Structure 1
C-alpha cells in the first residue's frame, strides 16, 4: 500500500506498509510496519526500510534515494536496509547506540553513518532534525520535519502511548522522559507518524503523560 500525505515546502510524505516478522529475546511476532518516504519528484529519503525492499523500491521509482534512515535497529525496521542500499547506493544511517541491536540482524554489514542527536538532513529543500529519544531502544531516534508539521517517531511514540519497553535494551522511565522532553515540547499540531499503526498528534498524546507514568510497565 502506497499513499501520499500532505506536503509542506517542496517535499511531500509518502507511506508504504510492509509485513513481516519481529524477532527479539527468542520470540517472534507477525507485524505490519510503516515505511515513510520524504522527498519530491527527484530525490527522496526512506525512514525505516522494513521487510520488503522491492515494495520500497517501487515507491521510490526513478528518484534518487539519498539515505536510508533507521529510527532504531530492531530487525523489523532494518531487515530490508542492506538490500535497499545495495540496489540504490544510498547510505544506511543509524544512531551508534543501537549498533548492538543492528549486529544481531546484520552481523556482516554495518551502517554507513550516524544519526547523532541534532544532525540535520536535507531532502527536496526540507530539513529533518534528528532527536535522540532512547527508551524503546538505546539508539532510538525521531526525525522532526517542522516544515512538514511532522515528526517520525519510529517505536518511541504511538497513538495512545509510548512504545514497548518489556524487552532487552529497553527502559520505561527512559522512554517517558524522552517523550516528555523531546516530543511533547513540539507544537501541539505536529503530526506523529509512528513505525506501526495510525498517526496522531503531539497535542492528542500530551494529556496522557501522567497516565503513562501511573501505569508504569
Structure 2
C-alpha cells in the first residue's frame, strides 16, 4: 500500500490501497470532486460502497474492478451530492442500504439499516464502526475500520477534511457540535497514524491535522 496517495480526478483511474484483509478503491465521480469508496473483503469478496455520489455507470464499473457484486451501500449524510446515483446503483445491484438514522428520511431510496453512534456495519469478514458526527447534517456518520495488521482507516464523509471540519453554514451551534464530536470521538480516541478518507478531495492523517484543532475552533469554521 506504499504507493497509494489517495489522489484521484473525475474521469481518471481508481486509486487502490491493498490491506491484509480489505481493499480500498477510491474514485472521483463528479465535478464537485465527490469521492466514492469501494471496500472489498479479501477473504469473501463481499463489497461495500461508501457514498453512491454520482455517475452510476462509473460506480458500477468500480464495483467490477473488485469482485463484481455489491453487498451494501452506506450514505454518509443526506446532502444531494452524496446520493445522486443511489437509486440506480441499488436497483442494479440489490444492495442493502444504510445511513445515519437522523438523515435517512431525506434519502431517495428506503433505508434498511438505520445507523446510530456505536453501531457496526459488517460485510464479509469486515466490521466497520459507526461514529456519529453531528453538525454538518444531523445524521452524518463516519466509518472506522480497525486494521488488525496496521493503522486505523476512517471514512469521514463531509464531516472532516484536511484543513477543517465540514461546512455548517455559519451556524455557531452546529459548528461547535461538529468540532466537539470530531475532537471527542475521533482525535481523542484514535492515533495520529489513522488515515482518513473524506467525501471530497485529498486524504490525510489525524497526525497531520491534530496541531490545527485549536486554530479551527478559534476561526469558527
The answer for the alignment partner of 1:38 in structure 2 is 39
Residue number in structure 1 paired with 2:177 = 174
Preserved CA contact (<8 Å) 1:10 1:124: no
Aligned residue among 190, 195, 208 for 1:204: 208
Query: Using the alignment, how far apart are the partners of 2:186 and 2:13 within structure 1?
Result: 27
Q: Number of aligned pairs?
A: 201
Partner of 1:24: none
Aligned to 1:60: 63
Structure 1 moving runs of 4+ over 3 Å: none
Report Cα offsets for 1:119-155 as digits up to 9, x if no partner: 2223342221111111111000000011162100000
Unaligned runs of 5+ in 1: 21-30
- 1:9 shift after superposition: 2.7
1:123 and 1:100, CA in 2 relative to 1: closer, same or farther beyond 3 A? closer
Per-residue CA deviation, residues 153-208 of structure 1 (Å, 9 max, x unaligned), is 0001001111111079x810011011101111211101010000100001111111
Where structure 2 has 5 or more consecutive residues not aligned to the other structure, the ranges are 1-11
Q: 1:167 to 1:32 in 2, by over 3 A?
A: farther
Task: Report the TM-score, using the length of structure 1 for normalisation.
Answer: 0.86
SS at match of 1:19: coil
Matched-pair contact (CA < 8 Å) for 2:72–2:123: no
CA RMSD of aligned residues (A): 1.9
Cα distance between partner residues in 1 of 2:41 and 2:62 = 12
Comparing 119-128 with 76-85, greater Cα deviation is found at 119-128
